[in-house]
Amino acid sequence: MPEFRPTEAVHPLHHDLDQLDSASIVTALIEDQHQAVQAVQRAGPALARAAELASERLAQGGRLIYVGAGTSGRLGLLDATELTPTFSWPPERALTLLAGGLGAVTRAVEGAEDDMRAGRDDLQALSPTPNDVVIGVAASGTTPYVLAALELARQRGALTIGIANNPGTPLLTVPHCAVLLDTGPEVISGSTRLKAGTSQKIALNTLSSTIMVRLGKVLGNLMVDLQATNLKLQQRALRLVMIATGASEADASQALLQASGRVKTAIVMLGRQVSLDEAERRLETHHGRARAALEAE
């Protein structure tokens, strides 16, 4: 018999799923998703500890490196990709290793997740350092590609974080920080793209967002380090400057123009009534933290 994993178990309440009407199927799937949120809530303390330790490494110039296969790998790639437009996090400091390579984003690569050598080699190619943070994600908690990468990362002194949906699995014993998202069996048995995947998305979103807040990428609850790369985001940047400073639309727009669209810089210019050069100096002195730049004498 294969090794038992709760995520692979047959759900006891949905043996007749294929006989239900569409509305009932939708209801079953949605109701089951609530358990994803509950699983992440239970993992809150573990996520907080991981975020705190990760922030310390990243403040020293380290990189976030996500490692996964299949759905888990794609979710890691999504989280990494969104950090740059949301928080101006340098793309070279948010990397993803996906079993089978980037081609596996749209098409499954058979056997890639079982390739331990590839996991090790792929991470080795990034030359991991003690300031790096390597996040391994796998619903099963046993994916060889992910485990091999995390083992090498730990050997090289990087902070390692493991996120898995089955208790007692290697991915929760190999890394420094273990995050269990105990979601149990799926409505469609074994399809961990369902609530297991949902819980991973929530956990990754929560982890990376907490890290960015800790690193000063947020002022209050305002997203002040965004990259305004389109009209919608330019309008959002303008609103953020107005909200943060109480400035008029005209003054906020002028400050943003002088600051080349950099929201934090415009906020410090208006909030302290200083020049562009002085605002940039204050932000550099305080490591890009807008609140410190605003409050310091």
Mind telling me the catalytic residues? 82, 113
Task: Look at the alpha carbons of 100, 106, 183, 180 in this order and tell me if their dihedral is positive or negative.
Answer: positive
CA distances from 216 to 205, 219, 264, 266 (A): 17, 7, 10, 16
Strands (E), 156-217: 159-164, 177-180
Distance CA(37)–CA(293), nearest Å, equals 36
Nearest to 135 by CA among 156, 155, 164, 115: 164
Q: With contact defined as beta carbons under 8 Å apart, do 133 and 204 qualify?
A: no
Contact 206, 47 (CB under 8 A): yes
Please list, in sequence order, all residues whose beta carbon lies within 8 angstroms of the beta carbon of residue 105, skipping any fewer than 6 positions away. Answer: 74, 77, 98
The residue written with tokens 């090794």 in the block is 3
Q: What are phi and psi of 178, to 5 degrees?
A: -110, 130
Rounded CA gap, 210 and 240, in Å?
A: 20
d(CA 290, CA 284): 10
Tokens of residue 17, six digits: 């799923």
Tell me the C-alpha distance between 141 and 11, whole Å: 20
Closest CA relative to residue 267, chosen from 281, 277, 252: 252
Q: Which H or E run includes 248? A: none
